[in-house]
Amino acid sequence: MKFWNMGKDKDKATEEPEMTSLEKRLVEKAALEENEEEVHSGPKNLKEAQAQIDELDERLLRLTAEYDNFRKRSQREKNESRQFANQHLLEKQLPVLDNFEMALTAAENADPAIRDGVQMIYDQFLSVLKEAGVEGIDAGGELFDPNIHEAISQKETAEVEEGTVVQQVQRGYKLNDRLVRPARVIVAKAPESVSESADE
């Protein structure tokens, strides 16, 4: 025996013997059965299938409802952010508007040209704010409403009903029906002599 054949003889000795045709068919059949079991691992009867369908239907309905709610909430948040994006800027401009109103009050006895010029700028400023959805709250003569008014003091008077706004100190403003600043007001209260006689 030559030395170059020595390794080949060892390989032949360790090789597995060849399978017969019967053994090959049995192995193929076993493999097919395993594959069929994996494929048919679903429901075993109609009742199980119906239960699985019902569960999947319920999950689909739940997911659809969640998606619908998410879509509506996103749209609502987007609309709100668009409507109230200018609120911060408006809050910074309100003191300027207050100063314009004070300037108009102070300019009543001034030169008509100056007074008319200030009034024109003030009106233009108000119209720009109105286009952006801003509206003023005029509280004079109204009943006090804590949702839109801020009472800074009370005034005894018998001329108007108790709880009525006697004087507006600072105008309030809304942006698209959302309160930005409440109107600061003085509210009427019944005089003490009247309230004492009413108690007796």
HEC string of 24-80? HHHHHHHHHHHHHHHHCCCCCCHHHHHHHHHHHHHHHHHHHHHHHHHHHHHHHHHHH
State what percent of residues in the chain have pLDDT above 90. Answer: 27
What pTM was estimated for this model as a whole?
Answer: 0.57
Give me 156's structure tokens: 């005894």
The rounded distance, in Å, linking the Cα atoms of 70 and 138 is 39
DSSP 103: H
pLDDT digits (tens, 9 = 90+) for 13-60: 455 567 787 777 887 888 777 666 555 567 788 888 898 899 999 999
- Contact predicate 118/103, CB 8 Å: yes
Region 108-133: mean pLDDT is 88
